[in-house]
Amino acid sequence: MSWAFVAPWALAASALIALPILAHRMRRPPTIPVPSGILLLLRRLPNQVRASRRLEDRALLAIRVLAVLAVALAAAGLDLKLQGVLPPVGGSGRVVVVLDRSASMGAVVQGQTLLEHARAAAAQAISALPEGARVAVVAADADAEVLTDGLVDPDVALAALDRVAVTRRATRLSAAFDVARELLADAPGEVAIWSDQAGPEAVGVAVERMERLLGDGHGVLPMPLPTGAQNVGVVSAVWSEGANGGELAVEVAAWGGSAREVSCAVVHPGGAEAVLFVDVIPGKRVVERIAVPVGTPGGLGSVRCVDADMPGDDLRPWAVPDAAATQVLVVDGDPGDTPTQSEVYFLERALAPHGGSRGDLAVSVVPPAGLATLDPAVHRVAWLANVGDPRPWATPLLAFVRGGGTVVIAGGDNVDVDAFNATFGTLLPSALRPAVALAAVGERGEPVARPVAELPWPLGLDPSAFSRARARTVLSLDPYAEGGDLATWLTYQGGRAALVERTTGDGRVIVWTSTVDLAWSDMALQGAFLPLVHGISRRAGGGPTVGAAVFDVEVGVPGSWRVPDATERLNWIGPDGVEEAASVSDGRVGRTMADAGGWRVVGADGADRLRILAAVAASESDLSVPLTIREVQARAAPERSTRHVDLSSAAWAAAVALALMASVVSGRARLT
């Protein structure tokens, strides 16, 4: 709101307020004399002390001053600019009615959904259009759909309003603006929008389109809707590996209303159910965690919170992966009496912190004799930790490497370098030599240098973390030439190799010249140890390849997913358990999920091939309005939303009223 004056010079008349002020400062002796016997004393006072010129009748003075000011404002032609005030719909005779049908419009306010409010208001606006007006109806969510055959008669448009129904999709008004611009391409028109404008992207992504619309001379009229909508939505449900069967993190958000407790039913893949109570706070997201029972099979589960406002976002599926993908065989060359004395104690915990039942690494710890079970079809990595003599299992080891497996040799007092050289021969990066001491007894040892080049696996930490690790003893290697199939990934500061790899076909032999326990090195205690052994094992295993792949999809958005075997006969199984045939096209299956829930693509053997988690976009649960159409319009075309109100007449009327009031008050004062 701002002010302007037609004749600002007339404001000078406001200086006339000095007149009533002066008049009131003048002495106004009462008309009724009061007899007094002390006039002799009073005459001895100075005049200015005897009767100062103070303001009399302040209320009357205020009225008179206001009257003078009102006259001045009226003479100056006071013009009030009201920003954000929109003209009535239909002035141009060409109107595009946009109804937001996104999920948030299903919120119930004053006993009706916002869409029902919007439909009724739109029908009223269309009915009130002037004769000859043409209307188009557009239903909008993330996309826009024209429900009329272009601009049509209002009666036809009214019928089209009934076809608008709430979807499960998010609000993005950009598509609606594009459609409206096409519909109004011939001549300037208006776009009347009934939308709650809720969601982080509702208006923000449409700013450019709206500015373009305004630039073409069209009007954008954001129509009012009832406020006070509230909603609770499950915005994420993620399983993670942990103790027992892992844990499920449920993230619940609330908008509007007050802080309250919400109960949520958690269904596990095995069918077990649990109840989760979440204290939600409007405008905030709350994460609650619940343990998954031991033995829960891989599959799909769900979380559903009780909320009557917008049921579409109250359910969110979640998935538990099948057994681990990469089988890792850890050969303990020096088993101790207790687990902590074992050679592979640290290695085992680093590879499978929580037991490894769900991770992408499945770890099996065996004594050297267990190398007999090494199977290239099952195992991807074999760690030989302080193994003395591998020659008895030379055949399966060589077959394993040549079959694409990875053997990691870790040093130790038991290692017979000659036996290893005889077993692996040219598959080794270089011939192994006896251990050498890098530091005297009692000293901390020689630190690992920073990697000279980027490691071939993601570390997820600063490479300088390796420099905290120190080794006192290492296996030595014959001199070798870097390059080709041989690479040195880590060295000690003295230049001796710490981690060396030779590639043979798809197989690899990697030498960790120190130990994986604390005998020669403290590497196992460093933060870099876990990502190091995980990186080596994952790279060797080629990533998770076993079990069904899991995909997320937004409800109402078409999706397609590649299946493992395009020739296989597949079926869809929905959240309700109903099974139907899946058509495979170009090695992919496709579907548009109408509701939230977990969908499975199963093979003939009944095993899952794909798991699809369909849910309403978290942004659509969000009822916050970070940016409004009015704000965009006020910035892009402020004159379109500014209404001028001539207040001169009102000022004249106020002046007359104040003058009358002043005369009444003055007369009453005289009587008293």
Partner 1 sequence: MTARDAWDPELADRIRKLRLASRQLARDVGLGAHASRQLAVGAEFAEHGAWRPGMALRHVDWRAWARTDRLLARRTPVEVRRPIVVVLDLSADLGVGTSAAGGRPDLNGSPAGLAIVLAGTLAVWAAGWRDPVGLDIVAGDDAPVRHLPPRPGNAALGPLLAALARARTGGRADLGEAFPALARRWPPRSMVFLITDGMEDPASWLPALRGLASRRVELRVIQLVDESQRRLDGVDLARLVSPEDGSEVVVDATVARAGLTEAAAAFDRELEAGLAAVGARRFPIPVAGPVARALAGALVGAGAS
Binding site for partner 1 (CB under 8 A): 27-46, 49-52, 54, 56
Q: SS3 letters for 553-593?
A: EECCCEEEEECCCCCCCEEEECCCCCEEEECEECCEEEEEC
CB of 24 to partner 1, least distance (A): 12
As a whole number of angstroms, the distance between CA 209 and CA 175 comes to 8
CB of 672 to partner 1, least distance (A): 12
CB of 658 to partner 1, least distance (A): 25
Q: Torsions phi, psi of 244, nearest 5?
A: 55, -120
317 CB neighbour count, 10 Å cutoff: 24
Residue 33 or 442 with smaller CB distance to partner 1 = 33
Residue with tokens 């002043």: 662
CB of 25 to partner 1, least distance (A): 12
CB of 41 to partner 1, least distance (A): 5
Residue among 169, 287, 309 at smallest CA distance from 237: 287
CB of 17 to partner 1, least distance (A): 23
Tokens of 20: 């009533």
333 with 388: CB under 8 angstroms?
A: yes
Residue 41 or 581 with smaller CB distance to partner 1 = 41
Containing 121, the helix (H) or strand (E) segment is helix 114-127
Tokens of 586: 């170009």
Residue 37 or 577 with smaller CB distance to partner 1 = 37
3-state secondary structure of 600: strand
Residue 44 or 670 with smaller CB distance to partner 1 = 44
Q: Fill in the amino acid letter for 110.
A: Q
Residue 56 or 211 with smaller CB distance to partner 1 = 56
CB of 659 to partner 1, least distance (A): 25
Tokens of 591: 């579907």
Residue 54 or 670 with smaller CB distance to partner 1 = 54
Per-position DSSP letters for 521-541, written without gaps between them: BSGGGSTTHHHHHHHHHHHHH
CB of 624 to partner 1, least distance (A): 60
Residue 2 or 672 with smaller CB distance to partner 1 = 672
Residue among 328, 322, 406, 407 at smallest CA distance from 362: 328
CB of 36 to partner 1, least distance (A): 4
CB of 47 to partner 1, least distance (A): 9
Residue among 568, 609, 619, 576 at smallest CA distance from 594: 576
Residue 52 or 340 with smaller CB distance to partner 1 = 52
Q: How many residues does the chain have?
A: 672
Task: Report CA-CA distances (Å) from 259 to 193, 194, 543, 623.
Answer: 31, 29, 44, 15
DSSP strand pairing (78-83 vs 2-5): antiparallel
As a whole number of angstroms, the distance between CA 448 and CA 416 comes to 24
Where residue 443 falls (left for φ over 0; alpha for ψ -120 to 50; beta otherwise) is beta
CB of 31 to partner 1, least distance (A): 8
Residue 36 or 567 with smaller CB distance to partner 1 = 36
Residue 25 or 391 with smaller CB distance to partner 1 = 25
Residue 31 or 258 with smaller CB distance to partner 1 = 31
Residue 38 or 440 with smaller CB distance to partner 1 = 38
CB of 57 to partner 1, least distance (A): 11
Q: SS3 letters for 132-195?
A: CCEEEEEEECCCEEECCCCCECHHHHHHHHCCCCCCCCCCCCHHHHHHHHHHCCCCCCEEEEEC
CB of 665 to partner 1, least distance (A): 17
CB of 21 to partner 1, least distance (A): 17
CB of 227 to partner 1, least distance (A): 55
Residue 39 or 440 with smaller CB distance to partner 1 = 39
As a whole number of angstroms, the distance between CA 660 and CA 324 comes to 92
Residue among 540, 538, 526, 533 at smallest CA distance from 499: 533
Residue 45 or 594 with smaller CB distance to partner 1 = 45
Tokens of 411: 């040093």
As a whole number of angstroms, the distance between CA 626 and CA 647 comes to 34
647 CB neighbour count, 10 Å cutoff: 17
Residue 60 or 474 with smaller CB distance to partner 1 = 60
639 CB neighbour count, 10 Å cutoff: 7
597 with 574: CB under 8 angstroms?
A: yes
Containing 330, the helix (H) or strand (E) segment is strand 326-332
Residue among 490, 488, 500 at smallest CA distance from 470: 490
3-state secondary structure of 75: helix
